[in-house]
Amino acid sequence: KAEDGSHAWLRYAPVPNPNGYRSLPSTIVALNSSKSSPVYTAGQELQKGIKGIFGKSLSINDTGKGPSSVVVGTAEAYKKNYGEFDEADALDEDGFFLSIEERRVRIIGQNQRAALYGAFEYLSRLAQANFSLVSYVSNPHAPIRWVNEWDNLDGSIERGYAGPSIFFRDGYVMENVTRAAEYARLLASIRVNGIVINNVNANAALLNERNIAGLGRLADAFRPYGVQLGISLNFASPQDFGGLPTFDPLDPTVDVWWANVTNKIYSRVSDFAGFLVKANSEGQPGPLTYNRTLADGANMFARALKPHGGIVMFRAFVYDHHLTPSNWKNDRANAAVEFFKDLDGKFDDNVVVQIKYGPIDFQVREPPSPLFSALRKTNTAIELQVTQEYLGHQDHLVYLAPMWKEILEFDLRVDNRPSKVKDIISSARFNRPLGGSAAVVNVGTNTTWLGSHLAMSNLYAYGILAWNPAAQAEDIIRDWIRLTFGFNRQVLDTVTEMSMKSWPAYENYSGNLGVQTLTDILYTHYGPNPASQDNNGWGQWTRADSVSIGMDRTVKNGTGNAGQYPPEIAMMFENIETTPDNLLLWFHHVPYTQRLKSGKTVIQHFYDAHYEGAATAQTFVTMWESLKGKIDEQRYDEVLFEQVYQAGHALVWRDSINQFYYNMSGIPDQAKRVGNH
Ligand code: GCW
């Protein structure tokens, strides 16, 4: 039967051998749930899921001691009805206890949304025909697990590849919030607890009366799923929208203005999550306009939010996009540390500095941002992208969990001690009260949410990793495939193989050795355009000339960026011999004839990698074709279309990049594929 992808991984398709599950409970007990509470939602979801998976209709009660029931509720409600339970003390905020016994299932959340997370977890097991009896507590790695949407009020989406906004149209929040609610449901199932609904290049008109009423509607749609609403703000709003003569963060009238706006939002959205702010970046206004610090700017919002319990996500993506390339020492990668390091400890407790995973901008390969190691007395969160801005716009299959894992597991060795990025963004390393992750997702009205069926594995993986960064990329994709495409073994193995090969393939046919993606950076961020990197103010330079390539980020001779890392890491990146090949050109400027650890020269590696990556992309087509008849026709055809396109575009990538560097260097390809032979 045709499937359009709108249910994503929440299809609740029938399992092949339901008899494997001997003791399906006969009722659902959703404890003390009022309509629109997440526990109520959990009850509905269990009912729907069990109906879909087993074809069995269960009734829902809100209290009960039935002998064979699925009980879902908060710890508090559970205790009231059934008495103490041992695991109660082990529950952190948003954590849940799941116990599956022969004739009883208990799903107990530390709070309402946690109970819903537990219900989704139980259903995910059932939907994967995993009927084992288990009992465990699952707690989140960090409290902030948000998504960011770069939706504009006119309904367009910056760097969105799945059609127009599901939140806005013609300047206003949409009347119909059905799809927004469906999105919140998807997010709750992967334990995302906040959505910032508008573009960080923010339009202050979001703060008008009609839109604030609209925010209320959206928050009402999200609330049953335990997802909180947040918004991006334009720093100049007091002036541009409020009519004040200034937006100076230290001007008391500005403070009062923000407090009023914030109060107004909270009077409509009592559980409002907070603000996301892009300031002094790419032409956006900010505190630096008034010679105030970035901390002054962030704390202004923090003060307004504090009485309500809200938080400020303040982006670290602050840099000068008019850098002069002729200065060898200029380096955009240095900006975040330069702007923020002296402010460590100066941010209010409800400010979180949101840091892109790498020092530049969502490239196919970057080291972790050094800022993670420089802020020890500041809450931090990592910013990832599900939307494939530089990674093929969802026209290319690029499963991102392996890339995110490399960053999250990277040990920055702060004070020569274990300091993995994942432990810095949680409280583990610096004992900060807040922290976590945000991912730019940019879903749109396309039925597949992201414009491609396979791209949804990235959204799924994001949620799983935000909850538990120790999860393995391959385990995540296998769960996702079973939930998305069912139980066929060949489908499982084939889509796993394609996915696991996809990021390395994309890296191979785009930018290698840490030189960056080599896509067009001036307009589309799509397709090969190595020439666009250099000789402009954006600072995504490769510094390629006829003999050499790469950014010299050493302390001894370059921009000093390597020295922004803690000593052990700085030393590793300072020296060519100890820099991993895949970041060689990120940190070093070398001749094309430089030998890699593999023994190949840089230029020969470019040529070979491009052939290899493009060849891998061709195999995705045949691999997918081998699944014909094993997947519903609609999704089979739609994915095939994408894979054929990717295969072709990979060849365009291969030949453009190889020809470009052949022309630049004049060095022939040893295998005689590149150039005029
Ligand atoms: O990567 C760049 C994008 C911009 C984006 C900016 C940011 C929303 O090209 O479109 O602006 O990053 O992250 O703020």
Domains in the chain (CATH in brackets) are 18-138 (3.30.379.10), 144-484 (3.20.20.80), 486-551+589-677 (3.90.1330.10), 554-579 (no CATH)
Query: CA–CA separation, 473 vs 60, rounded Å?
Result: 36
Average pLDDT, rounded, for the chain: 96
- Nearest-CA residue for ligand 1 atom 3 is 159
Query: CA–CA separation, 404 vs 357, rounded Å?
Result: 8
Q: Is the Cβ–Cβ distance between 382 and 408 less than 8 Å? A: yes
Please choose, from the candidates 426, 421, 617, the residue with its C-alpha nearest in 3D space to the C-alpha of residue 505: 617
Average pLDDT over residues 156-170: 98
- Nearest-CA residue for ligand 1 atom 14 is 200
Query: CA–CA separation, 51 vs 57, rounded Å?
Result: 5
pTM of the prediction? 0.98
235 band by pLDDT with thresholds 50, 70 and 90: very high
First to last CA, the chain: 51
* 158 CB near ligand 1 (under 6 Å): yes
* 308 CB near ligand 1 (under 6 Å): no
Please compute, for residue 423, the number of CA atoms within 13 A of its CA located in the half-sphere on the CB side.
Answer: 13
What local confidence, expressed as pLDDT, does residue 16 receive?
Answer: 84
User: Residue 677: pLDDT above 60?
Assistant: no
What local confidence, expressed as pLDDT, does residue 590 receive?
Answer: 98
- Ordered alpha helix ranges (H), 567-601: 567-574, 584-587
- Nearest-CA residue for ligand 1 atom 2 is 361
* 159 CB near ligand 1 (under 6 Å): yes
Q: Which two tokens stand for residue 548?
A: 């050499």
Give the nearest ligand 1 atom to 200 CA. Answer: 8
- Nearest-CA residue for ligand 1 atom 12 is 361
pLDDT digits 0-9 by tens, 74-126: 999 999 999 999 999 999 999 999 999 988 999 999 999 999 999 999 999 99
Q: Of these residues, 3, 361, 395, 638, which one is catalytic? A: 361
Q: Is the Cβ–Cβ distance between 38 and 32 less than 8 Å? A: no
What local confidence, expressed as pLDDT, does residue 67 receive?
Answer: 66
User: Residue 595: pLDDT above 60?
Assistant: yes
Lowest mean pLDDT segment, chosen from 52-66, 146-160, 480-494: 52-66
For this structure, is 76 an active site residue? Answer: no
Q: Is the Cβ–Cβ distance between 166 and 444 less than 8 Å? A: yes
High-pLDDT (> 90) share of the chain, %:
95
65 band by pLDDT with thresholds 50, 70 and 90: low
User: Residue 476: pLDDT above 60?
Assistant: yes
Angle of helix 112-127 versus helix 178-189 axis, rounded to 10:
80
Q: Which residues contact 1 (CB under 8 A, 6 or more apart)?
A: 632
∠ Cα 11 15 18 (to 5°): 140
pLDDT digits 0-9 by tens, 136-157: 999 999 999 999 999 999 999 9
Q: Where is 104: in which H helix or E strand?
A: strand 104-109
Q: Is the Cβ–Cβ distance between 216 and 269 less than 8 Å? A: yes
* 321 CB near ligand 1 (under 6 Å): no
What local confidence, expressed as pLDDT, does residue 676 receive?
Answer: 67
For this structure, is 296 an active site residue? Answer: no
Give the nearest ligand 1 atom to 201 CA. Answer: 8
Contacts 24+ apart (CB under 8 A), 421-430: 421/368, 421/372, 421/382, 422/141, 422/469, 422/470, 424/372, 424/373, 424/380, 425/142, 425/372, 425/380, 425/381, 425/382, 426/141, 426/142, 427/142, 430/375, 430/376, 430/377
**Would you list the DSSP string of 474-536?**
HHHHHHHHHHHH-S-HHHHHHHHHHHHHHHHHHHHHS--TTS---B-TTTT--SB-GGGSSSS
Average pLDDT over residues 637-659: 98
For this structure, is 45 an active site residue? Answer: no
Strand-pair partners of 440: 148, 385
* 383 CB near ligand 1 (under 6 Å): no
* 520 CB near ligand 1 (under 6 Å): no
Please compute, for residue 287, the number of CA atoms within 13 A of its CA located in the half-sphere on the CB side.
Answer: 19
Please choose, from the candidates 111, 107, 68, 69, the residue with its C-alpha nearest in 3D space to the C-alpha of residue 93: 111
**Would you list the DSSP string of 203-247?**
-GGGGSHHHHHHHHHHHHHHGGGTPEEEEEE-TTHHHHTT--S--
